[in-house]
Chains A and B, each alone.
Chain A
Amino acid sequence: MSEELVVKVWRGREDGAFVAYRVPRRENQTVLDVVTWIQRHLDPSLAYRYACRVGMCGSCAMTVNGVARWTCRTHVSRVAKGEALEIAPLANLPIVRDLATDMRDFFDRWARARGQFTGAATRHDDFARVDPASPARVAADAGIECIGCGVCHASCDVVAWRPAFVGPAALNRAWTLVNDERDTAGRERLRAVAGDAGCHACHTQGACTERCPKGIAPTAGIAGLKRLVARAAVRGEL
């Protein structure tokens, strides 16, 4: 392990550029540690985002050496090329400044994919009893731990090509809800995710699944949505 890292960091907005910094190399250093060190010691004006530092909040994702990653759980030793790091904001999202992206459009897409839960019960009703071993609940559980980091969204070519595509995270959310037996907006949701702005735009190549830090497979959920939509279309329920 050498003494120093050479870190290129994106500064500015879309028309910005990389600026190189020298950062002391430490053991067990994460990429987020590196960014924080630069901000604390070299340039306090560096904009970036994080909150939990333990992989729960989903706010720290950036492009590290060309690949979207959660930076608080990414060790430098795993991703540095030699002693070089290149850190840029997430792709496929507008840049606010430096490493901070504007996530509004990302979450608006969740809303467009009907990502809100709609239930029939009120607070006066008893708890719903859901069998954890039922196939629908197993399918929902597989996608439920999404932290909304945007890594999948930044890694998806179709998001880059089709501005209207809601993207893997929004579709994963929709998939967990269509498998939630308490939810009552299933039909409306299938309508929202059908078509070329939704599940049918996906090429099933799995970049999202490959990159998701939580080990979620949006690709599988999207394939499931395609099957449900096809079934609904055949029955004339779409």
Chain B
Amino acid sequence: MSGPVTEAKLWYWQRVSAMALALFVLVHLATMAWAVRGGLSAAEILGRTRGSWVAGAFYGVFVMAAAVHASIGLATIAQEWLGLRAGPARALAAAFALALAVLGLRAVYALVAA
């Protein structure tokens, strides 16, 4: 899978995921600043996030955006710095994206599952 159309699409996805991430990071930081005021403990956080669909959806999409964004960038760096060809670089990056998504979604699950 290569060629200008693929590369244009990858660029588009990286851009869209970057915009999503910018928003998500801001919301995440604001929520943290607000939540931390009563003192922070694991039990307290879990008490609020367990069973919360909003937290689950928010961090689920957050994880997916990070996986998409980071892996497209890493595929580029692998080509430029390690001299890999586009195919192998993208395969490596896809594996990395999968790992990020699995680890991230597992963490989100632990956060919201009752």
Query: Which A residues are within 8 Å of any B CB, using their own CB?
Result: 158, 161-162, 191, 194-196, 198, 200-201, 226, 229-230, 233, 238
Contacts and interface: CB of A to CB of B under 8 A. Distances in A.
Contacts of B38: none
A226 B11 contact: yes
Nearest to A194: B4
A233 B8 contact: yes
B12 A230 contact: yes
A229 B8 contact: yes
A237 to B, nearest CB: 11
B80 A233 contact: no
B49 interface: no
A191 B8 CA distance: 10
A230 B7 CA distance: 10
Interface in B1-33: 3-12
Please classify how large the interface on chain B is, using the bins under 10, 10 to 19, 20 to 34, 35 or more. 10 to 19
Contact of B7 (A158, A161, A162, A195): A195
A198 B79 contact: no
A229 B79 CA distance: 22
Contacts of A233: 5, 8-9, 12
A238 B8 contact: yes
Interface of B (DSSP majority class) = helix
B34 interface: no
B4 A198 contact: yes
Given A196-B86, A200-B11, A229 B4 contact: yes
A200 B81 CA distance: 17
B80 A194 contact: no
B11 A238 contact: no
Contacts of B8: 194-195, 200, 226, 229-230, 233, 238
Nearest to A233: B8
A226 B14 CA distance: 12
B79 A200 contact: no
A195 B86 CA distance: 11
B80 A161 contact: yes
B86 to A, nearest CB: 7
A200 B86 CA distance: 13
Contacts of A198: 4
B11 to A, nearest CB: 5
Contacts of B6: 195
Nearest to B12: A230
A200 B7 contact: yes
Interface in B60-95: 76, 79-81, 86
B79 A195 contact: no
Contacts of B3: 195
B81 A161 contact: yes
A238 B5 contact: yes
Contact of B80 (A162, A191, A200, A238): A162
A196 B77 CA distance: 12
Interface string B28-48: 000000000000000000000
15 contacts: A161-B81, A191-B4, A194-B7, A194-B8, A195-B4, A195-B7, A195-B8, A198-B4, A200-B7, A200-B8, A200-B11, A229-B4, A233-B5, A233-B9, A238-B5
A167 to B, nearest CB: 14
A198 B86 CA distance: 14
